[in-house]
């Protein structure tokens, strides 16, 4: 890494609701690359300005579709820019996001969406079959595919983007005490339970990270852990987005792929659990 002095304490950019995060980062870092994702032939890139425009359009679609303040919206998928767009669009539309563990069996997906009373869910194409196998969760009304599959009454991502501006006028600002997300526990000691986090809960952590970790424009953060985890969502998505970093989504957690991503994307920072670092070290030793 190019930063060598730790720990540091620098002023943060403020603690504000997540809908403001979209606008502020677009204003301050608009032409910079916000995210990179592997396509198989290289990385596709999206700037902060482009990201914010798509968030506003998806938020507009949610509002036009009838999402009311405080209602729940699920997000189920692999790490990708559209996951973050859906997460922040729910905030801008006044809803509460429910990140769903992509490793959950169909019954677990159904239980989380039913328990949270999610009206809408954003889902990657690869998990549509899991959602179908689960059967219709209680109260679920619309499914938006983060790709272009539209069978079984599923709305495609591009269609939601096209229809988005119609509802933009209905968006309203959030306040710090609004509920932002419900994260479900792993259920190792019983039934999975929803943990309620406010805008203030999340953004205080983000601002605190920015005080201690001197990252900003010019840094590339490698995101590898599942985004539905509280740690990765906060430290691997919202924090670097708050600071103006470029977030690169790892193509996999295989050591060879991680090293390739680090080299090709000129990664300067990453965050993970100790076990993954141990495995990376073992791979390098081999």
Whether residue 1 is predicted with pLDDT greater than 50 in this model: the reply is no
35's CB contacts (< 8 A; 6+ apart) are 45, 46, 51, 81, 84, 246, 247, 248, 249
Q: What is the pLDDT of residue 258?
A: 86
Average pLDDT in the chain? 91
**Percent of the residues in the chain that have a pLDDT greater than 70, as a whole number:** 95
Indicate if the pLDDT at residue 36 is higher than 70: yes
Decide if pLDDT at 253 tops 80: yes
Could you read off the pLDDT of 88-117 as tens digits, one per residue?
999 999 999 999 999 999 999 999 999 999
Contact 169, 61 (CB under 8 A): no
- Spatial separation of the C-alpha atoms in residues 149 and 283, rounded to whole Å: 38
CA dist 177 to 47, 196, 203, 208, 214, Å?
30, 11, 11, 18, 28
**Rounded average pLDDT over 209-219:** 94
| pLDDT range class, residue 282, cuts 50, 70, 90 | confident
The confidence score (pLDDT) of residue 150 equals 75
Question: What pLDDT score does 230 carry?
Answer: 94
pLDDT higher for 187 or 238?
238
Q: Say whether pLDDT at 273 is over 90.
A: no
Q: Is 195 helix (H, G, I), strand (E, B) or coil?
A: strand
Q: 169-189 in b/e burial notation, b at 16+ Cβ within 10 A?
A: eebeebebebbbbbbbeeeee
Q: What is the mean pLDDT of residues 37-59?
A: 93
Delimit the domains of the chain by residue range: 18-285
pLDDT tier for residue 167 given thresholds of 50, 70 and 90: very low
Query: Nearest-CA neighbor of 247 among 37, 35, 44?
Result: 35
Q: Say how far apart CA 106 and CA 103 lie, in whole Å.
A: 9
Label residue 166 by pLDDT band (50, 70, 90).
very low
Within the chain, where are the H helices?
A: 18-29, 48-64, 81-92, 106-116, 128-134, 157-163, 199-212, 230-231, 239-243, 255-264, 274-285
Q: Tell me, what's the pLDDT at 5?
A: 56
Q: For residue range 72-87, what is the model confidence (pLDDT) as tens digits?
A: 999 999 999 999 999 9
Please say whether the structural domain 18-285 has been given the CATH code 3.40.50.12780: yes
**Highest mean pLDDT: which of 55-59, 131-135, 169-173, 253-257?**
55-59
Mean pLDDT, range 38-42, rounded to an integer: 86
Q: What average pLDDT does this structure show over 281-285?
A: 83
Half-sphere exposure of 140 (CA within 13 A, CB side): 28
Q: What is the rounded average pLDDT of the residues 116-141?
A: 92
């Amino acid at each position: 890494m190019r930063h060598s002095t730790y720990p540091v304490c620098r002023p943060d950019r403020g603690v504000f609701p997540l809908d403001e995060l979209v606008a502020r980062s677009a204003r301050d870092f608009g032409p910079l690359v916000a995210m990179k994702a592997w396509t198989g032939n290289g990385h596709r890139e999206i700037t902060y300005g482009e990201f914010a425009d798509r968030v506003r359009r998806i938020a507009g679609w949610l509002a036009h579709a009838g999402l009311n303040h405080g209602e729940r919206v699920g997000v189920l998928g692999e790490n990708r820019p559209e996951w973050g767009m859906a997460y922040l669009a729910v905030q801008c539309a006044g809803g509460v996001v429910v990140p769903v563990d992509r490793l959950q069996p169909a019954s677990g997906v159904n239980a989380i969406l039913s328990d949270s009373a999610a009206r809408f869910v954003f889902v990657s194409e690869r998990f549509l079959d899991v959602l179908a196998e689960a059967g219709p969760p209680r109260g679920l009304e619309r499914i938006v595919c983060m790709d272009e599959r539209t069978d079984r009454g599923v709305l495609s991502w591009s269609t939601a983007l096209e229809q988005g501006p119609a509802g933009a006028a209905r968006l309203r600002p959030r306040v710090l005490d609004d509920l932002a997300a419900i994260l479900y526990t792993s259920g190792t000691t019983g039934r999975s339970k929803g943990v309620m986090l406010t805008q203030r809960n999340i953004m205080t952590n983000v601002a605190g990270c920015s005080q201690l970790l001197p990252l900003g424009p010019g840094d590339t953060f490698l995101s590898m852990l599942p985004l539905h985890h509280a740690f990765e969502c906060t430290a691997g998505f919202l924090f670097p987005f708050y600071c103006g970093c470029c977030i690169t989504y790892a193509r996999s957690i295989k050591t060879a792929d991680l090293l390739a991503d680090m080299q090709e994307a000129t990664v300067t920072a990453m965050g993970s659990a100790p076990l993954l670092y141990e495995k990376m070290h073992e791979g390098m030793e081999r």
